[in-house]
Amino acid sequence: NYQKAILAGGCFWGMEKLFSELSGVINVVSGYIGGDIKNPTYELITTGITGHTEAVEITFDKTQITYTEILHFFFTIHDPTTLNQQQNDIGTQYRSAIFYLDVEQKNIANDIINKTNNSGVFSKQIVTQIISSKTFYKAEEYHQDYLKKNPNGYSCHRVRSEWKF
């Protein structure tokens, strides 16, 4: 009953922490996706030249939480209307993107974005990319559970009650 979702929405630290607190989420891994260089490192990613973005790979129990609910939560913890930026994090490596794993995920993502754009929840249009998944590379160990290890660490993510669906 386990399914995966791969999402990018700025620095992976805050996303990892918030998703790991959701009921039905089994595991969250910080990593890199979307570029063409094999086995990228954080040092390369931060330059913006690899094409990768910081992302999280979420494993969830679909009998407890749905992919739709995962995406709704995703859209409440980051600003999907800001191109290649989340607060102080600027560059394509911090873009908002949904890396779909199958046609069903692609269709759900497109449907949610279309409905949300027409709902008036956001004052601007969503710029989140919907991209076929490539190889997901796990980030270095010091990035995993970063905010648990460093409770005062940087995060640009929070649940925004005004962006409820």
What are the residue numbers of the active site? 11
Q: Which residue has the tokens 């992919």?
A: 67
Reduce the secondary structure of the chain to three states and give it as a string.
Answer: CEEEEEEEECCHHHHHHHHHCCCCEEEEEEEEECCCCCCCCHHHHCCCCCCCEEEEEEEEECCCCCHHHHHHHHHHHCCCCCCCEECCEECHHHCEEEEECCHHHHHHHHHHHHHHHHHCCCCCCCCCEEEECCCCEECCHHHCCHHHHCCCCCCCCCCCHHHCC
CA 12, CA 42: separation in Å to the nearest integer?
12
